[in-house]
Amino acid sequence: MNAYIIQLRLGLLAIAASAFLLFVAIPAWVTTPGGIQNIVLSPSFWPYVLAGLTGLVGAGLVLAALREQRDGAAYDPPIADRGRAYLRLGLMTVIMVVVTVGTAAIGMVWMSMAAFVATAALVRTRHPVAAVICGILLPLVLYAFFAHVASVAIPQGNLVRLP
Partner 1 sequence: MNAFDSLMAGLSLVGNIQAVLALTIGVAVGVIGGAIPGMSATMAVALTLPFTFAMPTIPALLLLLGVYKGGIFGGSIPAILIKTPGTPASSATILDGYPMAERGEAGRALGMALWASCTADLISNLALILFAGWLASFAMNFGPPEFFTLILFSLTIIAGVSGESLLRGALAALLGLLLATVGLDLVYGTNRFTFGDPNMMGGLNFIAVLIGLFAIPEVLAMVLNPTGHLGKTRSIGKNWVTFADYRRSFKSIVRGSFIGVALGSIPGIGAAPSAFLSYSEARRTSRNKEAFGKGEVEGVAAAEAGNNGVAGATLIPLLALGVPGDVITAIIIGAFMVHGLQPGPTMFVMNIDIIYGLFIGLILSSALLFMIGSVAIRGFKYVADIPRRLLIPGVLILCIYGVFAVNNNLFDVGVMFVMGWVGFLMMRYHVPAAPFLIAFILGPLLEDNFRQAMLMSGGDPQILVRGPITWFFWVLTAVTLVAVARAGFRGVQDKVRVKTSS
Contacts to partner 1 from residues 36-95, by CB under 8 A: 37-38, 40-41, 43-44, 46-47, 50-51, 53-54, 57-58, 60-61, 64, 67, 75-76, 79-80, 85, 88-89, 91-93
- Nearest Cα to 64, choosing from 2, 138, 137? 2
- Nearest Cα to 108, choosing from 155, 147, 145, 150? 155
One of 7, 106, 107, 157 touching partner 1 (CB under 8 A) = 7
Residue number, 19 or 138, with CB nearest to partner 1 = 138
Residues 104-133 within binding reach of partner 1 (CB under 8 A): 104, 108, 112, 115-117, 119-120, 122-127, 130-131
Rounded Cα gap, residues 18 and 56, in angstroms: 9
One of 20, 24, 29, 70 touching partner 1 (CB under 8 A) = 29
Indicate the residue type of 66. Answer: L
Residue number, 20 or 160, with CB nearest to partner 1 = 20
- Nearest Cα to 20, choosing from 61, 42, 52, 65? 52
119 and 92 Cβ atoms separated by less than 8 Å: yes
Residue number, 100 or 160, with CB nearest to partner 1 = 100
Report the nearest approach of partner 1 to the CB of residue 77 (Å): 9
Q: What is the dihedral of CA 69, 71, 73, 75, to 10 degrees?
A: 90
Report the nearest approach of partner 1 to the CB of residue 27 (Å): 12
The contacts of residue 106 (CB under 8 Å, 6+ apart) are: 114, 157, 158, 159
Report the nearest approach of partner 1 to the CB of residue 160 (Å): 18
One of 16, 70, 94, 100 touching partner 1 (CB under 8 A) = 100
